[in-house]
Structure 1
Amino acid sequence: MLSSWFRVIRVKFLLASVIAVCLGLAINWWQNQTIDLVYAGLTFVGVIALHASVDLLNDYWDFKRGIDTKTKRTKFSGGTGVLPEGLLQPNEVYRAGLIFLIIGSSVGGYFIFEKGITIAVILAFAIISIYFYSTKIVNSGLGEIFVAIKGSMIVLGTFFVQTSHITMEPIFGGIVVGVLSSLVLFVNSFPDFDADKAGGRKTLVIMLGKKKASNAVWIFPIIVYGIIVSGIVLHVLPILSLITLFT
């Protein structure tokens, strides 16, 4: 049973949010040489809970729409298979998604009390995008954009919780993380093309078509490397950031 929950939460993919939080903390340390460990711990809990929520709700809605029963699963796409295999009940997964959403929102609520309106804006975006991601958002072709914004906001929000202000460094770093997260979603949409299309989804790959979408893949790394180089030229990012050009 426990292994099924780990599977439906997609523990491996939680690493993306962990990396985003770590980058926000690293930028703060680089600038201020200090980290509030309590705030850092709460940030990890809140962000991971919100990420788990969107994964759970995504699995639930994909199953309800019949998408997961039509797609070929891989290690990185096609859903978790937990619901089609009957390992968990749909209502259990849905309730768990809401519970994790409440946990993450509660942490965010605490930070609103401590840090003010900026966190409120970030949290409001997170709650709305998480709950409606698997229904309204992916049906509009905006999935990649929302994921990019989400990744950016995790870095920025982590930094703001530590410092109570915003600088250009976490903005540049956040864009890099956000675009890379969006790239993962974009690439994973290729094997899900037929099932997503049959289920009424309008992913960017479906809207562009496989041929145009495969050519558009290069746009993502171009943006990432462009942001990094621009940040160095503008003295926002350290010169050591050039090491990323070897990836």
Structure 2
Amino acid sequence: MLLTLAMVALAAALAESNGFSVATTLFSLVALGAVSAHACVNVLNEVHDARSGLDDLTQRTPFSGGSGALQANPQALKAASRLGKALLALLITIGCYFIYLRGWSLLPLGIAGMVLVMAYTPMLTRRPWLCLIAPGLGFGPLMLTGSYFVLTGEYSWSVLAVSLIPFFLVNNLLLLNQFPDLTADVQVGRRNLLITYGPGIALRIFRWFLLAAYSVLAILVAVGILPPLALLGLLSLSLAIPLYYGIASLNEPQQVPHRLLGLNVAINISLPLLIAIGLALSS
């Protein structure tokens, strides 16, 4: 959930830096909607993977393989399914209010977000390229630009450009987390990028995406879309450089060390938060 809160914080910081005043109540409601979406897809994924037997096959890590809750308490499956549906209902309710508040131009983003929430595990994980980019689309162009629109009532090309940073980072978050689950994913019929093209291609794309996230930040500052203090985000290079070289030196790609998985998570949270802090200081 920290990743979601980082996205909403970045949206609010972008709004403030563009001259908008962000109301605390509206910010809180946007955060609730974003957290509901993230929690909903997590719960629905957990339920689906319990029913398919995937989480019975995974070797669980702190970052992948499911929580293990439904394997320890299989009688809770129906309750978990109801929780997922309740979160979906809450998400739809909040989304309808935002459409009432800001108008129908928010609807396309809302529909796209709902498709990602409901289709990711049962459908998109069987389509390699869609599986690769769906997480980044959800947290970047959809969540960041959607949150900004609700907070300001306007779409912004500059915010869409900034959303490329979490787009690349969150794609990498899910891509690297697929490595410990590789054997189990094959057994239940998933066809993600790692399965379809192999670890070598997947890790090469991971490195490209990591470089792309920081390149976008540097370019946006260079052309004046972001203020110089947004370069506070570069402090996270202290995490990204060890991750990049750690990935490049893997001898057994299917056995990604927990340390690298943890660095990947930390970068996803710290980079947008640092940019948000830089924007707040600039404002």
State the alpha-carbon separation in 1 of the partners of residues 20 and 103 from structure 2. Answer: 23
Aligned match of 1:50? 37
1:84 correspondence with 2:84: no
Deviation sequence 1:65-97 (CA, Å, 0-9, x none): 111000100000001111111265211111111
**Equivalent residues of 1:168, 1:236 under 8 A apart:** no
The worse-fitting range, judged by mean Cα deviation, of 121-130 and 205-214 is 205-214
Which secondary structure state, in structure 2, belongs to the residue aligned with residue 134 of structure 1?
coil
**Equivalent residues of 1:25, 1:40 under 8 A apart:** yes
Amino acid at match of 1:177: P
Aligned match of 1:213? 202
Amino acid at match of 2:126: N
CA drift of 1:21 comes to 0.6
State the alpha-carbon separation in 2 of the partners of residues 210 and 181 from structure 1. Answer: 18
CA drift of 1:228 comes to 1.1
CA drift of 1:52 comes to 0.6
Which secondary structure state, in structure 2, belongs to the residue aligned with residue 104 of structure 1?
helix
Aligned match of 1:127? 114
Paired positions, count: 234
1:170 correspondence with 2:159: yes
Amino acid at match of 1:36: A
Q: How does 1:110-149 map to 2 (within 5 A)?
A: 110-141=97-128, 142-149=130-137
Q: How much is the aligned-residue C-alpha RMSD, in angstroms?
A: 1.4
The worse-fitting range, judged by mean Cα deviation, of 202-211 and 104-113 is 202-211
Aligned match of 2:47? 60
Equivalent position to 1:74, from 44, 61, 78: 61
CA drift of 1:132 comes to 1.3
1:195 correspondence with 2:203: no
Equivalent position to 1:41, from 9, 19, 28: 28
Which secondary structure state, in structure 2, belongs to the residue aligned with residue 41 of structure 1?
helix
CA drift of 1:29 comes to 1.0
Structure 2: which 5+ residue stretches go unaligned?
Answer: 238-283
State the alpha-carbon separation in 2 of the partners of residues 113 and 234 from structure 1. Answer: 36
Which secondary structure state, in structure 2, belongs to the residue aligned with residue 118 of structure 1?
helix
Q: Which runs of 4+ in 1 moved over 4 A?
A: none
The worse-fitting range, judged by mean Cα deviation, of 234-243 and 190-199 is 234-243
Sort the Cα spacing of 1:240 and 1:88 in 2 relative to 1 into closer, same or farther, 3 A. farther
Deviation sequence 1:139-175 (CA, Å, 0-9, x none): 1121231111111221111111121112233212222
State the alpha-carbon separation in 1 of the partners of residues 211 and 104 from structure 2. Answer: 34
Which secondary structure state, in structure 1, belongs to the residue aligned with residue 154 of structure 2?
coil
Which secondary structure state, in structure 2, belongs to the residue aligned with residue 68 of structure 1?
helix
Q: Which has the higher helix share?
A: 2
CA drift of 1:233 comes to 2.5
Amino acid at match of 2:108: V
Which secondary structure state, in structure 2, belongs to the residue aligned with residue 224 of structure 1?
helix
TM-score by length of 2: 0.79
